[in-house]
């Protein structure tokens, strides 16, 4: 006869993690792309952040210092896939991941059509559309890129204010006037 488990002596369930999807009011299962990334040794969100830093996301290099991860190469894990992994809803809610995706979009070559298709399939098009909207408004040098991305993604529900990082987290500001208008700014990841 099997031993019965006393529910009072069982270990407590693990705490509910705060995911990006939960903050957005959505569900997000672990996707095939996330499973594939973990097979390449990119098991958690900090591994993805470290890979983004290795591929050109230099502004956030101090966030994950001295963390080494295997880079399977862009032939195996494309930059578009890394951006989508950073914006994946099943990831722990961490603004640094969203900021890294925003920087990576302008720091490395991106195939906009592939990115938009992948974002829809992996259910992160809403967050990507938010980044594209911010880019159109605050990245004068990359307005054509951001508009092309917005057009490729198509209309998406807007994200409530305060959920995702503020636009100032994606740009380098050289000054702000009293109304909060940037006097001179440059999107992080662009080459001066």
pLDDT at 181: 67
Please determine, for residue 118, whether its predicted confidence score (pLDDT) is greater than 80. Answer: yes
pLDDT at 161: 84
Q: Of residues 44 and 86, which shows the higher confidence score?
A: 86
**DSSP per-residue codes, 8-71:** TTSPPPPPPP-BHHHHHT---PPPHHHHHHHHTT--SHHHHHHHHHHTT-GGGTTTSTT-----
* Range 6-11 average pLDDT: 48
Q: Which of 5-9, 37-41, 90-94 has the highest mean pLDDT?
A: 37-41
pTM, two decimals, is 0.82
79-117 pLDDT per residue, tens: 999 999 999 887 778 889 999 999 999 989 999 999 999
Burial zone of 12 (CB within 10 Å; 0-12 exposed, 13-18 middle, 19+ buried):
exposed
Nearest one of 94, 104, 101 to 128, comparing CA atoms: 101
Sorted by where each begins, the domain ranges of the chain are 20-187
* Range 10-34 average pLDDT: 71
Structure tokens of 62?
Answer: 């101090």
Percent of the chain at pLDDT > 90 equals 35
pLDDT band at 182 (very low <50, low <70, confident <90, very high): low
pLDDT at 177: 67
Please determine, for residue 7, whether its predicted confidence score (pLDDT) is greater than 50. Answer: no
pLDDT at 18: 81
């Amino acid at each position: 006869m099997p031993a019965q488990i006393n529910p009072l002596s069982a270990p407590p369930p693990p705490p509910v993690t705060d995911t990006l999807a939960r903050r957005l009011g959505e569900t997000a299962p672990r996707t095939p792309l996330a499973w594939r990334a973990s097979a390449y040794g990119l098991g958690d969100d900090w591994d993805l952040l470290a890979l983004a830093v290795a591929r050109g996301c230099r502004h956030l290099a101090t966030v994950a210092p001295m963390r080494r991860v295997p880079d399977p190469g862009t032939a195996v894990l494309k930059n578009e896939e890394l951006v989508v992994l950073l914006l994946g809803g099943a990831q722990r809610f961490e603004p640094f991941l969203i900021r890294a995706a925003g920087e990576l979009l302008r720091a490395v070559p991106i195939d906009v059509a592939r990115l938009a298709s992948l974002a829809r399939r992996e259910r992160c098009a809403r967050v990507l559309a938010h980044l594209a909207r911010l880019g159109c408004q605050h990245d004068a040098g990359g307005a054509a890129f951001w508009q092309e991305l917005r057009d490729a993604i198509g209309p998406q529900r807007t994200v409530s204010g305060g959920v995702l990082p503020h636009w100032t987290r994606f740009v380098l500001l050289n000054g702000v006037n009293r109304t909060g208008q940037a006097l001179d700014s440059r999107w992080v990841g662009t080459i001066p």
